[in-house]
Amino acid sequence: MRRASLKNFAQAATTAVERAYKAIKQPCEGTVLTVCRDWLSEVQRLSAETENFVECLQESLQKAQNSLASTPQFLDILKKNKVVDAGGKAFVLFLEGILNFIKKGHVRELIAEDQAGAAAETQRRIGTELSHCVECCVRKQNLNRLDLVAALDDLGQELIFYRSKDFAKIRINTSFPDKIFSAASEFGKISGQRILPNKTDLPQEDKRPLAFVTDTTCDLSNEHIANNDVYFVPIKVQIEDMVFTDKKDIIQEEFYAKMASSSVLPKTSQPSLLDFKRTYISLLSHYQSIISIHLSSALSGTFHTALQAAQAIAPRRITVWDSKNVSAWD
């Protein structure tokens, strides 16, 4: 089954809006074109921050609604009649319908037999209950990250992944711990294997005391990461039209090489609220408390997003600190 990522969706939407403008001999602002353009700008921004379609649709819909409300500012005829652009209104209703269907609708007989078979095979392969959480580290010179991530994705879900040139730390939910270790061992020497019960109601006395969470602007040594309960929420890196997940899709050496060959300076964006929530929920299954330390709030909204997620999940068990630094290293 082929799936489109949010980045794919943003790229397709960009092409669609560009062609809409080109299809009209004299494009006029204050019409559906303006609403589409403003909606697209929000989709592009969010695609660099999250991989959640619903979150993106909700926030970009708000941007489209605000853009629609402003259309009379562009066209006197709309302002005079105290109405908004009809085409823009139709586009907003279209977006509202999609979001409403995702939240409340039902799909009946829309899955082809081969797709249903593929879904059943995926469920059979990774298991239905994901009964264990598995952790390990992998070491090898010039570690093949792309194939390693692909192999892990076939065996589990909710992967927390950190990688440098010769090292990776893995945490993943699975029904097949032995298969995770076997797959990882094909890419390098593994160490620090842990198999934990994947239960949300694990007694507090059976949990480790404390986990540390940071973002990938923090530069810790491989040894420190391997030997301590440290986990990372990745920032996003945009180089021209490509968006990468730091320490998963791209590492430091690759970033510098791409930056040297790029005609524009790269951009970064903070982890999304959903990224933090997923990490915190996963770790609280096996730790009594979390200390989350992040890039200076004077430079990024990462700290405030982490704080928002902590307050939503477990404010008494998660402490979020503003490092007031650009990075940290040991």
The whole-model pTM stands at 0.61
- Domain limits, CATH 3.40.50.10170, in the chain: 200-235+270-330
Residue 104: per-residue pLDDT: 72
Query: What would the two tokens of residue 107 be?
Result: 């799909």
Above 70 in pLDDT, residue 112? no
* SS3 sequence of 57-68: HHHHHHHHHHHH
With a pLDDT cut of 70, the percent of the chain lying above it is 90
Residue 194: per-residue pLDDT: 94
Query: According to CATH, what is the number of the domain 126-198?
Result: 3.30.70.2730
Q: Which carries the bigger pLDDT value, residue 230 or residue 202? A: 230
Q: What is the pLDDT of residues 61-99, one digit of tens each?
A: 989 999 999 999 998 888 888 889 999 999 999 999 888
Query: According to CATH, what is the number of the domain 200-235+270-330?
Result: 3.40.50.10170
Q: Rounded distance, CA 23 to CA 39, Å? A: 19
Above 70 in pLDDT, residue 162? yes
Say which residues have a Cβ less than 8 Å from residue 8's Cβ, sequence separation at least 6. none
- pLDDT grade, residue 328 (50/70/90)? low
Above 80 in pLDDT, residue 116? no
Q: What is the mean pLDDT of residues 248-258?
A: 86
Q: How far, in whole angstroms, is CA 274 from its chain's centroid?
A: 7
- Domain limits, CATH 3.30.70.2730, in the chain: 126-198
Q: Rounded distance, CA 247 to CA 210, Å? A: 23
Closest to 137 (Cα-Cα) out of 202, 191, 65: 191
Please give the order of strands across the beta sheet that includes 156-163: 156-163, 167-174, 132-139, 189-197
- pLDDT grade, residue 138 (50/70/90)? very high
Grouping H, G, I as helix, E, B as strand and the rest as coil, residue 34 is helix
Asked whether 133 and 172 are in contact (CB, 8 A), the reply is yes
- pLDDT grade, residue 329 (50/70/90)? low
Above 50 in pLDDT, residue 174? yes
